[in-house]
Amino acid sequence: MIRFGIVGFGLHAVKRMMPAFTASKRCSVTALARRDPVKAAESARQYGIPHAFTSVTELCRHPDVDAVFVTSPNSLHLPDVLAAVAAAKPVLCEKPMGMNASECREMVEVARKAGVPLGIAHVFRFEESTARFRELLAEGKAGRPVFARSDFYFRADPGHPRKWLRDKSIAGAGPTFDIGVHCIDTLRYVLQDEVVRVTARSVQDAPPSTIESSASLILEFGRGTLANVSISYAAEYRTPFEIIGEFGSIRAEDALNVERPITIELRRPGSDVYSEVVTNQDAYIRQVDAFADTVEEIADFPVTGEEGWQNQEILDAAMRSMETGRTESVKQVLDRSHSRSQSL
């Protein structure tokens, strides 16, 4: 049983991670850290977690913690990951990995030098729907991918529990960082290809907020696929995903959700529509179990720090494009041979 300490025990930890840890037969939570000592103690009592800290360093150094899961706000990812690495604890960090690519590079290099496993919690790589999209495409069911689409919308009203979402100094950006990174990573994984250029446009949030409220990105992949990513804090929840190939298409209306079954459709001219129903309800369990395998040196975690860094290079290029109005090139952290080795 791998004992995790959770840093930043907020909405995500409560809504998604604690149910996953409770259901897992490989993992448990033995410690949490929150800045408010009263809230830390309350959360520990509510979820039966033995140790509560206000200090990330103390959590990371505690002998009852085998691995650290960083779920703190984006601006704290760098210091929290470095604290875990300094304590020689394997660390799984929530997306987006950092505030910019420079931070991601620092995390990767420090962890690599220390020989400490660093994973990024891109949970959609552990979904059945994502796996089936990847498999169907790799089997040539739709032909060479010409276009792709991944959208993600939800309403992040001013009363949203994650109040820092609209604070650029903490979040780094708006939905581009928060949910756009999910779309980008899923497209990279399904297409097994890398983004080389980005063109992005955005609509600014209402003052005094300084983030974008909605954005649209055109991603140019190395093997010629054009992908569109649309994200927003101002629309009802949807996560449609589609691949259009030379002689067919693969699509699902809410491909990335973990709440209900997803119907994946394969359409080809002159043929009946093929459909299958999958569920993503175990995605968060599979993610923590996979990191437990890494801690026990059974298998490498499939979403490395380098993968998170590559996603951040794309995010940074998108933000530059919003500012300049130009298409921006993406620095390549990974080559395709490395990325293919990261399959689940």
Domain residue limits, the chain: 2-121, 125-281+288-340
- Given a cut of 70, the residues of the chain with pLDDT beneath it are 335-344
pLDDT at 341: 36
Contacts of 244 by beta carbon, 8 Å cutoff, 6+ apart: 142, 145, 146, 147, 148, 149
**Looking up tokens 């923590």, which residue turns up?**
288
2-121 against 125-281+288-340: fold identical:
no
Are 125 and 344 a contacting pair, CB within 8 Å?
yes
CATH number of 2-121: 3.40.50.720
Q: Indicate the pairing of strand 67-70 with strand 2-7.
A: parallel
pLDDT at 166: 84
Please write the tens of the pLDDT for every residue from 200-238: 999 998 888 889 999 999 999 999 999 999 999 999 999
pLDDT at 272: 81
As a whole number of angstroms, the distance between CA 267 and CA 275 comes to 9
- pTM value is 0.94
Residue 194, classed as helix, strand or coil, is coil
Please write the tens of the pLDDT for every residue from 142-159: 999 999 999 999 988 777
pLDDT at 336: 53
CATH architecture of 125-281+288-340: 2-Layer Sandwich (3.30)
pLDDT at 126: 97
pLDDT at 343: 37
Structure tokens at 85: 């690495």
pLDDT at 248: 96
Contacts of 298 by beta carbon, 8 Å cutoff, 6+ apart: none
